[in-house]
Amino acid sequence: MAISDRIAKARKAAGLTQSELARRLGIRPQSVQSWEAGITAPRARRLTQVAEVLGVPEAFFFEEAGSENSQTRSIEGEIAARIARRLQGYAEAGNLDRAALEAVGQLIDVLARR
């Protein structure tokens, strides 16, 4: 899989649009579009920032084809963990009742096992 495909895959797994990713990186949306179309590629420093924003290791962009499934599961697990931490914060702040927290937690568990 090409870097362009991996950027798009990680961006979608993180639940971001191209514009949202661009905003978080402080760049124009056209740059992200160009990366995902395979027209250009981010430089090394920018790729480090992309990895940080998307919550993936830099190695994700260069993994061998055989490790894609385990890497995708790892990304999904990281995203599920981040969601769980955020929901726990809402619950601690009193913005989420216990039943809703448990229901969402069960949903996250199901998604993480996919």
> Are residues 101 and 88 in contact, defined by beta-carbon separation less than 8 angstroms?
yes
For 39, which DSSP code?
S
pTM (predicted TM-score): 0.57
Average pLDDT score over residue span 6-18: 94
Chosen CATH of 1-62 out of 1.10.260.40, 3.30.930.10, 3.20.20.140, 3.40.50.300: 1.10.260.40
**Among candidate residues 41, 73, 40, 43, the one with its CA nearest the CA of residue 56:** 73
List the structure tokens of 83.
């969601």
Each domain of the chain, given as residue ranges in start order, spans: 1-62, 68-114
- The span from the CA of 37 to the CA of 3, in Å, is 10
pLDDT in tens, 27-69: 999 999 999 999 999 988 899 999 999 998 888 888 764 445 5
Residue indicated by tokens 């448990």: 102
- The span from the CA of 79 to the CA of 111, in Å, is 10
Looking at residue 24, its pLDDT comes to 96
